[in-house]
Structure 1
Amino acid sequence: MHQETVTERPDENCRKRNVVIMYYLEDGTMSMSEPRIENSGIVQGLFLRRQRVERPEGGGIFKPSDFRCGMEVSFFGRTYHITGCDRFTRWYFSELGLEAGEDEEVLDDAWHTNYKLRKCAERGALPSSKFAVEQKTIGQFQMGAPPVSKKLTQFVLNDRKVLRFKGYWDDNTLYGARIYFNIHYYLADNTMEFNEAHCRNSGRYPAPIFFKRGVLKKKNVAHCVPAMLSDESGFYRPEDLRVGESIDVWGRKVVLFDCDDFTQKFYKDYMGINQRDSVIDVSEKPMRHLKLLPPPHQGVGKEEDSLISCKMINVKPPKVDLEKLMVYTGEVLRFEAKMINGQVEDEMRLLVIAFYPHDDEVAVFEVPVRNSGHWTGKFADKRRMINPATGQRFKLSDLRVGTTVTMAGQPLYITRADERCLQFLEARPKQFPYADPIACAKKLAALKGEPEMEDPDGVDPDRLKELALSLGLDIVDHEIVTVLRRFGVTDEDGNLRILGPAVLETAAARERPQMSIQTPSR
């Protein structure tokens, strides 16, 4: 846009002319054109032919970085103020990391304002003046026509214009609750309507009309004479309805907490009131339902079967892990244990704990011992038992050599495991680290300075456990068994011993790669 002076004109002294500047990136040329305006009396159209334009202060031709929204550029003796750009220009500038500036409002000069006013008058879009309306009404009255009713005028101007509010009423009576309404105010005749807005499954009767459409009085009074006229000033008007305030609906306090966009615009344009500033948040806190725990198992049947009857009406058998069933069916892991309940007659009893990995069930059998005085055979049925120490079902990791478990109300100390069980555990070192010889060797690396660990003939397993416990290491018999199976040898007397140098060498070999990786990062 550029501004030029206008002389010898009573209605304008300057003229603002809008132009479109086109910059061609392919060769750095520019062109400029002015949009044509009907009957403007000015030669418009192509304003500058496509060419390269030199900067007025020198330094070469204009470049895209020389143009910004809100800045002024000068060439060929004229100064142009840039007011905006298109979307492609903004994208191009953003790709270059440049700011294109904010678009400015294009101001009209006095000629453009008068031109638009004349065009509106030619189309008949301008409303008649107050004087013309009054003279027309007086003329019609003098000719015998009745005067126009104010209510009819209000209806013609405001038909189908409805203010919509949202409100609620707290019913404090017995078994009462909060009731929400959609409130409609009809500008055509100043009537109101209240419709109940029930949520889904509210249990209320589906009759939405709470207050039939009609004039709502601010205060209801009883007249001493029937058909007596009442004061019209006591009705609710649009200026009486404010979001955040309450209104009286036949003795009920209804709070207005929100309105729609049309209502907000109506109050903003005609009264200068921003209803959005007083919006009340009526959202209720989400209900938190307490989950009922299933009743405890009574011991009849399996716990899974009893739990299914609590979850569904049509009872179905519980789902089974088919993969686990197919892989581990037939596997039985056995541990030998003895009873340590303090009773003299139970000290010689031997039991076998059988763990079935395909369904995590446990069974206990008593081994026949001569002159024990106890019946041999099944000591505890095969089922999923609860570990009193953890409160959960027994897992395979709870059964280790050297630990005490409680089954069928009796403390059982596990003394050893069979070969198949040890192989099963050693084949899964990540699940059972106490059956991993490398992990056990790392734990015993703290015994490096002990002379007995350097003995080439080996160290006794019981002595190795004593050395570990003296240093505060948490070690169980199962870890000693794992080390013995990997690093054990037999001496001349047939006794089993553990090669201490081999244990320390294995632990050091596993630590060496980690140290070599951490050294460069320092």
Structure 2
Amino acid sequence: QILKFDAYFQEDVPLSTEEHYRIRQVTIYYYLEDDSIYVIEPVVQNSGFPQGKYLKRHRVPKNDQGEHYHWKDLNRGINITMYGRTYRIVDCDPFTQVFLESQGIELNPPERMPFDPYTEMRKMPLRKYITPSDFDQLKQFLTYDKQVLRFYAMWDDTNNMFGENRPYIIHYFLADDTVEVREVHKQNDGRDPFPVLIRRQRLPKTFVDKKKTFPSCVLEISDQEVLEWYTAKDFAVGKSTTLLGRTFFIYDCDEFTRNFYRDKFGITDFQPVDIKKKLVEEVPQVIPPYNGFGILEDSLQNCFSLFPKPPRKDIIKMLENDHKVLRYQLALVSAFLDGIEPAYAEDNTAFFNSSSPVFGHRFVITDADEYVLNYMESNAESFPAATLQSLRDHFRRQQVVKETANSDIPALGTTKQEPDELIVQVQEELKPHKHLNNKNIQEAFLQCDKDGSGILDKEKFLAICNSLSVPTNSVLLNKLIDLCSCGEDKINYHDFLRAFPL
């Protein structure tokens, strides 16, 4: 069981002009088991002197006669001297009060604990000799120091030449209402690595009506020239803001900024805006006409790169088709063709009696060797079915002609007269017809043959001949037309045009 008393003692301060004495509060503990006393001073932060245990626990002598302090000597409102220091007891706890009253001791009324005058003076604000402003900038700094609002913005400069959408980050410092705009750089963006577009400063929103003589380009802007500055209310997601003549569109912000606007202004709409880049229109690459220098693949490399590289060769194709040659027989139809670009012929698109332009000349495929047929049949998946069938029909007709010649039986629709002799006779017969223009006749048939197969309908064929005043009622011409027939109402006009050479 312990008795607890609240007390204080007064300490003189002789070497200070601001204080003459100091009040130090202590707590006295009396242990009933051995009549010992323990004194402790509560620790006060930044007091400037050591505090804590002031008197260790032991029996404290009362006088020089060997007597010690007893609990009967303790009461409220009395002074007690221990080791030359006088303590004033002002109050006790409820347990101590009940114990002393039960022992027949009349307790004095409690007293108020005095305060230290120097400590109270330190709590008073310092005297200011300037008129306080309406807004406490120090409080703003202490409250919002190191708190920054972050906005993500875009500057759209696509309306100008070489302009583009450039991302920026806007920082608003709550401590002093300053604004900073930083550039967002990407790797290999081709721009100088300057991190700051607008340094940290207060940005004016509305200016006072200035005179034309005010040198604004030289003097710094002060409160006298600015009617309103930018504040946190002027920034919002989904809105545009103009800073020093440049308009930024704010499309998002960070989580701290959302919480600040939610708590400060009650704003809850922070839906980020989807910023989509404008699709750049691809300019189609136009291949210029062939100039005649080098092969076609080498010339095309100059259109694809500033430093042309030799075209890659298909080594696998070269190894697989080494010493394999497809032989065709061609007939020259037209010497010069305007507006036709040179191209490489593919072996899987060769039709018989079809015309193909090669370097400004038009040729007609008239024959091929048997190796071509065998090669196409062994690689049928690489060739169109129409090409393979035309080759088979050609060799079948040749086989029928050979069998007919061996048996001396004329083939259906033909005579034993050779086609070349018949063509010579037709040319001799047409010599008196000076109005016939062989070039116009060939061009007319080539223009009507849209697919270049070399075969026309008999009705269209006769209509072209009548339009060009070709005497189709001649016996020799009728025999030539019958000889050029292939199937029902189909005519191979290439054989017919051999009678009209250029």
Say yes or no: TM over 0.5: no
Larger Rg: 2
Q: Normalising by structure 1, report the TM-score.
A: 0.42
**Which is bigger in relative contact order (C-alpha 8 A, separation at least 6)?**
2
